[in-house]
Structure 1
Amino acid sequence: MNPDDVLAVQFEDHRAHLKAVAYRMLGSLTEAEDAVQEAWLRLARSNADDIDNLGGWLTTVVGRVCLDMLRLRKVRGEEPLEDRLPDPVVSREDAVDPEQHAVMADSVGLALLVVLQSLTPAERLAFVLHDMFGLPFDEIAPIVDRTPATAKKLASRARQRVRGATPSPDPDLATQRRVVDAFLAAAGGGDFEGLLAVLDPDVVLRADAGVGLQIVRGAAAVAGQAASFRRQVSAAVGHPALVNGVAGLVNTIDGRPVSVMSFVIAGGRIVAIDILADHDRLPGLDLAGLIG
């Protein structure tokens, strides 16, 4: 095997990890793939013999690429990240792809990604690389052009924003699915009291139909929205799925995906519902194995 082939094999060993880093940074599966590909191009142009720790080198490169991409979004005046839901990672409940599992390690739910989107690019990078992947601050500092002490402060500020904003879901998927089924039955039957019984008093509903992120807070308000939503998609077929590691649905009409829903269940009640119904983004998700 020639040196280039050996390097390619070594890179592939790190691909899933690198995509996991990029996904947390960017909230976009397509852009995460682009960042990983850029890391490969930079590796191929470098002198690999001078790299002592390939995994660490690649992680910092992906972090730097993602930071540049986040900053470029602002320069171009693109839609603010906080105005959209991150791309969901969707899989079958009974068969999780190994790469998807790596991307979703540590239960990175959409709620956490939404919070990360509200951070500055430097805060996001410091938090992701240090708190999620254990990179030391003296390695993070050069990426953000700060001192290690300042990089530590960036991560601390991010940590304060994240803490308490992302409840840990109940781990048992069967329990999650029972709560979701109760929610759907109550919504489908217009059972307002039944909805209140399965919704946490502080539940948050986030819906992205491509015209900005709509947020509804509180059980009564969400119950009203849920009944309305269910009437609008009464012709849809719901396909059970895992969405960012929790119980969810892929809703289709005539075999075409119309929305992806995820439900965070904590303490036996729904604390968060996320709905992606952006028809421009849904075709970019790998949903064929769920609705075929």
Structure 2
Amino acid sequence: MKYLVGKTPNGTAVFAVDGNKAVNLTALNAEIGRDLMGLIAKPDLLESVTDQIADADHVDVSSITPALPVAKPGTIICLGLNYTDHIKEGGYDIPDYPALFMRGKNSIMAAGAPLVRPTCSENLDYEAELMFIVGKGGRHISEADALDHVFGYTVFNDGSVRDYQRKTHQWTPGKNFDNTGAIGPYVVTPDEIPAGAAGLKIESRVGSEILQSSNTGNMIWSVAQTIATISEYTTLEPGDMIAMGTPPGVGHAKKPKPRWLVPGEVVDIEIENIGICSNPIVDEKDFAA
């Protein structure tokens, strides 16, 4: 199933997407709710509407304004340094344990929403990333069982303010500016794509300019390994979001000079069989939340 959480004249709803058409699942069963947490908590709710989808009213996907797949996510954990060539372009040593950091809720927003360049820096970078949403929580999850804990996969742009990222050994400032982490718009369930979302083309673009182009099969730590590793130290909970790191081609490593995002551009992050996360770049002084 391919889901889209989006805004309608009657409020936010969960849609099932097929091509360019979408069916409002929330309208078919109000218990599904207005984001994916209803289906995450009670997967059997989908069965209650499956027989109705084919005959239900369809709307064009283009008429839906995307919202966050999970309105109030719990923990947002991100991997850095998960593609060898990205590690090399950043001048880091290849680690033997994943580089992990966290994002706060004010730093994320939906696909389509403005991605904000802050007033204090022009060093706004893009990072195309696979993200997954935890469906079943747990602690000390084995790698063999880990993929059973994934509800679905989505697209993430880990917008990074590089000079602030490098102010300290911890990356928190550069990774947590308000409205710099774009998520969505689609969430695809595991049965629709290869196991662990491996082997999918991943790309970032501004217009016809290809900024990054790689494959999720090049990740050092797989989704299953990441779940096992993170759950060693913390309990994963339904609705948590985990981003899987970015491939080479980021702006700060471009030669002969960095390639920063500037207001007026639109950055697209695409992952094969999942979708495109597209966001306009705006300056903070021109942004109204």
On whether the aligned pair clears a TM of 0.5, the verdict is no
TM-score by length of 2: 0.25
Q: From the two aligned structures, give the one with the greater strand fraction.
A: 2
Larger radius of gyration: 1
Higher relative contact order, chain-length normalized (CA < 8 Å, sep 6+): 2
